Amino acid sequence: MKRKQLLAALCAGVFAVSSMVPWTAQAKEDTVKVGLILSMTGAFASTGIQIEQGARLFMKQHGDTVAGKKIELVIKDDTGAPDQARRVAQELVVQDQVDVLGGFVLTPLALATAQVSTRSKTPTIVMVAATSSVINASPYFVRSSFTMPQVTIGVAEWAPANGIKNVATLVSDYGPGIDAEKAFIERFEANGGTIVESIRVPLQNPDFAPFLQRVRNQKPDAVFVFLPAGVGTQFMKQFADRGLAEAGVRLLATGDVVEDDILNGMGDVALDVVTSHHYSAAHPSELNKKFVQDFKEAYNGRRPNYMAVAAYDGMKLLYNALEATGGKTGDELLEAMKGQKFESPRGPIHIEADTRDIVQNVYIRRVERLDDGELYNVEFDVLEQVRDPGQSK
Ligand code: PHB
């Protein structure tokens, strides 16, 4: 029995409406359903919206039919809670009968869903969740985003080469923060740097003030920071209020802290902050210029960030794979996602066939005010085609 028929039968059993099966199966044959599990409410709502908008922009630009199949997005809110993510994943697979899953802002949400992907054999595109080990949680996971060690090593190499010798680290106390902390320390120390202190702050509602005061008292050359998207504005305000810059402490971070959706609202305190990351809205390629322009036009002038890009590329990955399989889904679709290489608004990307993880450029950027009067992360150096250093091969 094909997977769709199996799921249709399962669904009929659940609802005990046997006459529904042939009609459902028929209608489904012409459609590829994509279930996106996103944080649409709660503290991380702005990130869920970026992902939905990135995916919808790709469909607007490229049409909603590929290999004779109509693509249908089904969005479910995980509210930022792992239990809810698991529940809606089950619903998407059993009731909505989706062919593909995707989304996941926070690592714990992807981890909570992994078993559902594996048991139902549903190819699943991880669009943020950036802890290295996420990719190992299911053989049906494919990552279109980034990994924390991958983006962290950029700034960990730049700092000691630019006179920064003593650094304190400050990260959110969960998977990606711990990955970032470890990657930064290893690479920075290997290049001759010294870590003066490592601080972990709670993921939910962190108050940075006491930690920043501790850093200020120690007067390191810089503080390296990882916080997930959405938390950066509050951090930057407290960084300014505590007078760290005046005390001579520079801010180094991954791009999550100064992400494009919120950077412009941070004001001058963000100027000159050096970060490393895989995407900037100021990336100077034709493809990116069009991506940013179309995104702004479609969404009320809003700037896309790295979440929108990962969703946009996740849809391209799906479209390419459906073209390769002639519209077939399941294991064939998963195989066709592996090994893909294409140009993204961030630059060239490659989904490694054996790890299902992403290989991409990591850029070193500085916050500058450009001619349009807005703040951007301006790329000035690049590490080309970086694999995830968090995975040993
Ligand atoms: C994660 O939870 O893996 C995560 C979330 C947001 C980020 C980075 C990592 O910006």
Answer whether 29-146+285-356 and 149-277+362-391 agree in fold: yes
The answer to whether the CB of 129 is under 6 A from ligand 1 is yes
Q: φ, ψ for residue 272 (rounded to 5)?
A: 75, 0
What is the Å distance from ligand 1's center to 47 Cα? 10
The structure tokens 């003030």 sit at: 209
What is the Å distance from ligand 1's center to 150 Cα? 13
The answer to whether the CB of 134 is under 6 A from ligand 1 is no
The answer to whether the CB of 229 is under 6 A from ligand 1 is yes
**Which DSSP letter does residue 264 get?**
H
CA angle 18-20-23, nearest 5°? 135
Q: CATH for 29-146+285-356, among 3.40.50.300, 3.40.50.2300, 1.25.40.10, 3.30.530.20? A: 3.40.50.2300
Integer Cα distance of 307 and 176 in angstroms: 15
- Per-domain residue ranges for the chain? 29-146+285-356, 149-277+362-391
pLDDT at 279: 98
Integer Cα distance of 105 and 100 in angstroms: 17
CB distance 126 to 101 below 8 Å = no
The yes-or-no verdict on residue 61 having pLDDT over 50 is: yes
Alpha carbon separation from 164 to 149, 248, 270 (Å, rounded): 20, 11, 19
The answer to whether the CB of 231 is under 6 A from ligand 1 is no
> Nearest C-alpha to atom 2 of ligand 1 is from which residue?
106
Taken as a whole, the chain contains a residue count of: 393
Atom of ligand 1 nearest to the CA of 109: 2
pLDDT at 25: 53
Q: Tell me which of 78, 105, 278 to substitute to probe ligand 1's pocket, judged by most ligand atoms within 8 Å of the beta carbon.
A: 105
Element containing residue 7 per DSSP (H, E): helix 3-15
Record the tokens describing residue 220, joined without a space: 């390191």
Q: Which residues contact 302 (CB under 8 A, 6 or more apart)?
A: 53, 261, 295, 296
pLDDT at 42: 86
355 three-class SS = coil
Q: Which one, of 59, 70, 78, 86, lies nearest residue 29 by Cα?
A: 70
pLDDT at 206: 85
pLDDT at 16: 39
Integer Cα distance of 65 and 241 in angstroms: 51
The answer to whether the CB of 334 is under 6 A from ligand 1 is no
The yes-or-no verdict on residue 302 having pLDDT over 70 is: yes
CA angle 240-245-251, nearest 5°? 90
CA atoms within 13 A on the CB side of 304: 34
Third-level CATH fold of 149-277+362-391: Rossmann fold (3.40.50)
Integer Cα distance of 319 and 100 in angstroms: 12
Largest CA distance in the chain: 73
Q: What is the mean pLDDT of residues 180-192?
A: 98
CB distance 276 to 377 below 8 Å = no
Atom of ligand 1 nearest to the CA of 106: 2
What is the Å distance from ligand 1's center to 324 Cα? 31
Mean pLDDT across the chain: 93
The answer to whether the CB of 48 is under 6 A from ligand 1 is no
The answer to whether the CB of 102 is under 6 A from ligand 1 is no
The answer to whether the CB of 160 is under 6 A from ligand 1 is no
Could you tell me the pLDDT band of residue 147, with boundaries at 50, 70 and 90? very high
Alpha carbon separation from 334 to 6, 95, 121 (Å, rounded): 19, 21, 9
What is the Å distance from ligand 1's center to 172 Cα? 10
Q: What is the mean pLDDT of residues 291-315?
A: 98
Integer Cα distance of 226 and 235 in angstroms: 10
What is the Å distance from ligand 1's center to 57 Cα? 22
What is the Å distance from ligand 1's center to 322 Cα? 28
DSSP 83-95: HHHHHHHHHHHHT
Q: What is the mean pLDDT of residues 76-93?
A: 97
The yes-or-no verdict on residue 272 having pLDDT over 60 is: yes
Element containing residue 21 per DSSP (H, E): helix 20-29
The answer to whether the CB of 130 is under 6 A from ligand 1 is yes
pLDDT in tens, 114-124: 999 999 999 99
Element containing residue 76 per DSSP (H, E): strand 69-77
Q: Which residues contact 93 (CB under 8 A, 6 or more apart)?
A: 7, 35, 101, 116, 120, 122
CB distance 52 to 76 below 8 Å = no
